[in-house]
Structure 1
């Protein structure tokens, strides 16, 4: 009897390891903290599709807008740490939000990184009929009409909100910031003329700019983007202080087994080596991370530095 009991206990003890060996045995849920159509959503879908082919299981996207991404991050933090719930985060959701919100239900320690997915290029775009043909004219118009212009973003705490804050700090403008549940709804309102402009990443704006549906004003990068060669950099346009770079990374709940993290990271690395993905990233002005930046260790060191950076930028946000 004792031998039988010991055998049963031994079998139970190795079940978790066996489960990890078989991971994934069912579809994986990837939470996207914003409405469909924004840069995080676009990047998540592209990378998720490639990762799914490597893992042999579907990666199901679930868009959860609200509170600048905090709604989705709260759910991710509370999810079972078994590798079947992951979340795509960015500089807003996983860095700036800790300064902006006092009542978050999670902390940086509630997540373990899988790896960096992409680096993005911040941009300001205007509605097509806005009466300014370049940044110099826009700044003059905005200064002559303080508080009357509006810039949309994906919610307070989102990476797009940070683009707005960077832009206003660099320009000294008095402009109303309009919060949406994602970059997609903000862009739709811009194309409909309900707002004057948006702060967003080129990843989600490229199609609208190339399709002549919105007017790209400036990009906050050192060099012009190959996919949008006519859009001036902030230095060229006369606002060199407007420099920023966004990022997206995948996170899992704290306690997710290391073998599962390793398997997800390997799938991510394989996905980011896809020629198909390279071509789409180039079209969308998204930048692939370097190989060392894809590691969980790199993201684990990057996040605290980003949190400190946004404490300075957002010192008057509360």
Structure 2
């Protein structure tokens, strides 16, 4: 009897030890989740400063800090249409301290453009969509065309001689260029930069003929008459750019360029942390400061469903398929 008691006691001790070994990290992990964030969070921006993604990232990050109780630090990592930044984000620790702001280019089209990437759509966990944007084609002031039909006529007389700048192959701005060129049926050269900001700077300086950009970053230059807006890939004119015609008004209704910006975290980031970041992002987007900033930038806030992780995932899945078709067309 005594032997049985001793055996049972040993078994209980052994089971307890196994339990500690197997589940000993559960409490600390849960504690880490509940204490998150205990230090600043880095938001990687896949392009140079000054572009639409950068401007939106800074506006949202500034307002996310308060509900999270920590500073959100923006870090610009340009190159390869955003894929360098996405690769870095995918390798980051899935602890919520590194997130990335992406768009239809970096998180959807890039998988067709760069088929041998070190990351896949499954490398990221969607957090929230934070802005919806509209693509614009703008020209340098001296360009000898003032509307789309004049542009098309000039381009057909000068095939391959017009150059349009964008934020790099794989960026959302590159997709705007591709959609515009296909809809217009013209042969132009597409020039990639490390971000929309440098491309716009060169356009203002007259080094290139035009840019494909989000209204978010190019609208101020159009308003200041530093460049001239040619067309917007939207179904209605923007209040901030009342003189820029829609694609239908310009005679190329096939030109659609409505984009988005969303936040993502590395695969494996705990759901509790994703929920905290999502709540902070939604509070920021709903706030007066971001609402005003988005309006000033010729952008709009996503609807409630699009601000959920599930809503953003649906948009990513849709766009991966859409751009696979677009980018394979000649």
In the alignment, what sits opposite 2:9? none
Structure 2: give runs of 5+ residues left out of the alignment: 1-12
What is the deviation of 1:13?
Answer: 3.2
1:80 aligns with 2:93: yes
In the alignment, what sits opposite 1:33? 46
Using the size of structure 1 for normalisation, the TM-score is 0.96
What is the deviation of 1:5?
Answer: 7.0
Residues in 2 aligned to 1:219 and 1:61: alpha-carbon distance in whole angstroms: 29
What is the deviation of 1:301?
Answer: 1.8
Larger Rg: 2
| Residue from 257, 261, 268 that aligns with 2:270 | 257
Residues in 2 aligned to 1:160 and 1:125: alpha-carbon distance in whole angstroms: 12
1:70 aligns with 2:83: yes
**CA shift digits 1:100-152 (9 cap, x unpaired):** 11220000111000011111000000001111121121111111111110000
Structure 1: give runs of 5+ residues left out of the alignment: none
In the alignment, what sits opposite 1:282? 295
Question: What are the equivalent positions in structure 2 for 1:106-145 lying under 5 Å apart?
Answer: 106-145=119-158
What is the deviation of 1:6?
Answer: 8.5
1:15 aligns with 2:28: yes
Range with greater deviation from structure 2 (288-297 or 129-138): 129-138
User: What SS is found at the alignment partner of 1:300?
Assistant: helix
What is the deviation of 1:95?
Answer: 0.4
In the alignment, what sits opposite 1:148? 161
1:225 aligns with 2:238: yes
Runs of 4+ in 1 over 3 A off after TM superposition: 2-13
Q: CA RMSD in A?
A: 1.7
**CA shift digits 1:252-275 (9 cap, x unpaired):** 000000000000000011001111
Give the paired residue count: 317
1:175 aligns with 2:188: yes
| Residue from 259, 272, 278 that aligns with 1:246 | 259
In the alignment, what sits opposite 1:102? 115
In the alignment, what sits opposite 2:207? 194
What is the deviation of 1:316?
Answer: 4.5
Residues in 1 aligned to 2:17 and 2:112: alpha-carbon distance in whole angstroms: 53
What is the deviation of 1:12?
Answer: 4.4
Residues in 1 aligned to 2:116 and 2:158: alpha-carbon distance in whole angstroms: 35
Residues in 1 aligned to 2:279 and 2:257: alpha-carbon distance in whole angstroms: 29
Residues in 2 aligned to 1:87 and 1:204: alpha-carbon distance in whole angstroms: 19
What is the deviation of 1:207?
Answer: 1.2
Question: What are the equivalent positions in structure 2 for 1:294-305 lying under 5 Å apart?
Answer: 294-305=307-318
Residues in 2 aligned to 1:7 and 1:148: alpha-carbon distance in whole angstroms: 71
Residues in 2 aligned to 1:241 and 1:113: alpha-carbon distance in whole angstroms: 29
Instruction: Decide whether aligned partners of structure 1 residues 12 and 106 sit closer, same or farther in structure 2, where only a CA change above 3 A counts.
Output: closer
Residues in 2 aligned to 1:173 and 1:36: alpha-carbon distance in whole angstroms: 31
User: What SS is found at the alignment partner of 2:249?
Assistant: helix
Residues in 2 aligned to 1:253 and 1:280: alpha-carbon distance in whole angstroms: 28
User: What SS is found at the alignment partner of 1:234?
Assistant: coil
Using the size of structure 2 for normalisation, the TM-score is 0.93
Residues in 2 aligned to 1:181 and 1:275: alpha-carbon distance in whole angstroms: 31
**CA shift digits 1:198-230 (9 cap, x unpaired):** 000000001111111111111010110011111
Question: What are the equivalent positions in structure 2 for 1:50-61 lying under 5 Å apart?
Answer: 50-61=63-74
